[in-house]
Amino acid sequence: MKRSLVLGIETSCDETGIGLYDSERGLRAHRVFSQIDLHAAYGGVVPELASRDHVRRIVPLIRETLESGGVRLQDLTAIAYTTGPGLAGALLVGASVAEALALALNLPALPIHHLEGHLLSPLLAAEPAEFPFVALLVSGGHTQLMRVGGVGDYQLLGESVDDAAGEAFDKTAKLLGLGYPGGPALARLAEQGMAGRFKLPRPMLHSGDLNFSFSGLKTAVLTATQQLGYGPEQAPDLAIEFQEAVVDVLTHKALAALKQTRLKRLVVAGGVGANRRLRTVLHEALARRGARVFFPELEYCSDNGAMIAFAGAMRLRAGCAQATREGAFAVRPRWPLSDLAAGAGTA
Ligand code: KG4
Ligand code: ZN
């Protein structure tokens, strides 16, 4: 097997991420520049500002990552980059830099699906899960259960019919007066809360399928805050109940997905995978059923370039990497992961 040394570039949203994955030595280096401070004043990501900041950060970050990994541009064997889904302008920054580099260095440029990056990121761990497994993808834009048979073999089992879990965390955090990004802030607030003071619904818990719905939960929180006698001092109690409701539904559906697929391994990926309560509850619930749950390291839960470099290297190893032709590329702001058949990675 030929050695590969892949540079990964991630610019789909508000993080500039660069990673360097070596098929023989594993992850050599990765760097993330988060734009949180830039967008905080606006309470959410401003796409135009995001694109401009990626332009500012990307080249210095590539230099820094290569230096830290002790790798020269000439040593690289491929450039992997996120083509979608995400913000069009932000994606274009990573795509143009990746394609320009590939053209200049005469290397293949590998377009990568952002969610495939998340999905495979738990395999960066020292003791990775083996295929096949069920993946619970919980990010700011997606909540999906997939059956993962191997690299490029992804079967959608169920997904959110409205808001994603991360989006629900963010919107509820906003309702409770917390800053952006709301997910981690809400989880911190929940730690001070008393369980059982509020009762929120568990949407679609018994829907009989593997789909989710989280927008009603946010509305239920809003209704609770409008009730007579509600004061900001109760926000932690509401936060803990909100978190419990989301964790309950995610756990219930993940277990149902394992049962349906007769699999014993669950891999959790995406930003909400950083949630401690979700980690604890899934660990316990799966252990009781003789199943195992795998989480990415915390630093690979949120957007990063390591997972993109890794996905590129995995595709090369599996023989299903398809390079773009001589800089002919396009980004795909909307791109369902289930469209991603093996080898169908080109834009
Ligand atoms: O995967 P990610 O970094 O970006 C997307 O591709 O969307 O996920 C970001 C999402 C945000 O909605 C954020 O609020 C949420 O993950 N998040 C959390 C936690 N940390 C990040 N949600 C709940 N608890 C956390 N600890
Ligand atoms: Zn992401």
111: helix, strand or coil: strand
d(CA 30, ligand 1 centre) in Å: 19
Kindly state the DSSP code that residue 247 receives in the 8-state scheme: H
* Residue in the structure block whose two tokens are 């509020």: 198
d(CA 232, ligand 2 centre) in Å: 31
E strand segments, the chain? 5-10, 15-22, 26-34, 78-84, 109-113, 133-138, 143-150, 153-159, 265-269, 292-294
Any idea which ligand is nearest the CA of 275?
Answer: 1
How would you list the strands of the sheet with 26-34, edge to edge? Answer: 26-34, 15-22, 5-10, 78-84, 109-113
Q: Residue 8 corresponds to which tokens in the numbers above?
A: 């990964």
Return phi, psi of residue 260, to 5°: -60, -40
Distance in angstroms (rounded) separating the CA atoms of residues 205 and 198: 18
Tell me the per-residue pLDDT of 195-208, one tens digit each, with 9 for 90 and over. Answer: 999 999 999 999 99
* Pocket lined around ligand 1, Cβ cut-off 6 Å: 13, 139-141, 166-167, 169-170, 181-184, 187, 270-272, 274-275, 302-303
Confidence band for 344, pLDDT divided at 50, 70 and 90 = very low
* CA Rg value for the chain: 20
Any idea which ligand is nearest the CA of 276?
Answer: 1
Say what the pTM is: 0.93
Work out the average pLDDT over 312-318.
Answer: 97
Tell me the per-residue pLDDT of 256-302, one tens digit each, with 9 for 90 and over. Answer: 999 999 999 999 999 999 999 999 999 999 999 999 999 988 899 99
d(CA 301, ligand 1 centre) in Å: 8
Any idea which ligand is nearest the CA of 138?
Answer: 1
